[in-house]
Amino acid sequence: MLIGQVLGSVVATQKDERLEALKLLVVRVHDHENNPTEQYVVAVDAVQAGHGDLVLFATGSSARQTELTEGKPCDAVIMAVVDSWDLDGKNVYEKWREGP
Amino acid sequence: MYLARVLGRVVATRKVPGLEGVALQWIQPLDEAGEASGKALVACAAVSSGPGDLVHFVDGREGALACPRPFVPVDAAIMGFVEEAVVRGKHIGRT
């Protein structure tokens, strides 16, 4: 899995009918030191993530292993909202510190 | 499967159903010399690993099979500790 920040949502009217009612979000990938990278993904939201949230997403066939995405043409799914992380005991990210 | 070093722990309260109680950890994949290779990623921990540990992990859909409930969207999982790896006579051990 990778961590990224939710930057926006995708509206697509014409799409595979199995993707109807799924929320698609644009996620900018961050590295382990919380620096944004130039990598972006569109992922299905399975956890009601909000704009600006740092989220964990899984890619590949694993992304189909949720009730929401099972059997659907989806290769990236947001599966958790990140509260915090540390590296070697040193705090890198803390959600409450980011503010609304 | 690949060698990796555990970098740190990730806390996430809101997760998809089935991942409750599953630990998430940043890991840095290593090459055959024990040096960092490629980008760090987050993996589920099937063992009680922690920062600094040398571990092996599996990526892809198989990662989900290491979790308590296998129908979860997991694409990387730490499978176990590596006490020592020997590559061409060179030892890669714990720090």
List CB contacts (< 8 A) between A59 and chain B: 75
**B69 Cβ contact partners less than 8 Å away, ≥ 6 residues apart:** B18, B19
**Model confidence at A12, in pLDDT bands (50, 70, 90)?**
very high
Q: How far apart are CA B27 and CA B65, in angstroms?
A: 19
Q: Can you list the positions of beta strands (E) in A46-100? A: 54-59, 76-81, 84-87, 90-94
Which ipTM was obtained for this model? 0.93
Interface of B to A at Cβ within 8 Å reads 7-17, 19, 24, 26, 28, 39-43, 51-52, 60-61, 63-64, 71-76
For residue A96, tell me if it sits in a domain. Answer: no
Q: Residue A99: its pLDDT value, please?
A: 66
* Integer Cα distance of B66 and A71 in angstroms: 21
What is the structure's pLDDT at A100?
61
pLDDT in tens, chain B (95 residues): 999 999 999 999 999 999 999 999 999 999 988 999 999 999 999 999 999 999 999 999 999 999 999 999 999 999 999 998 988 888 887 55
Give domain status of residue A95, yes or no: no
Please give the residue of chain A at the shortest CA–CA distance from B20. Answer: A80
**Cα–Cα distance between A17 and A19 in angstroms, integer?**
5
CATH class of B1-51: mainly beta
pLDDT tens column, A53-94:
999 999 999 999 999 999 999 999 999 999 999 999 999 999
Best residue in B26, B57, B67 for a mutation probing chain A (most A CBs within 10 Å): B26
Q: What pLDDT score does B90 carry?
A: 87
Q: B77: helix, coil or strand?
A: strand
Whether residue A58 is contained in a domain is answered as yes
DSSP state of A18: G
Q: How far is B87 from chain A (nearest CA, A)?
A: 26
DSSP tag of A47 = S
Task: Please tell me the total count of domains within chain A.
Answer: 1
**DSSP label at residue A2:** E
Indicate the residue of A31, A47, A67 with minimum beta-carbon distance to B15: A47
Q: What is the CATH number of the domain that holds A73?
A: 2.40.50.220
Write out the residue range of the structural domain in which residue A56 sits.
2-12+19-86
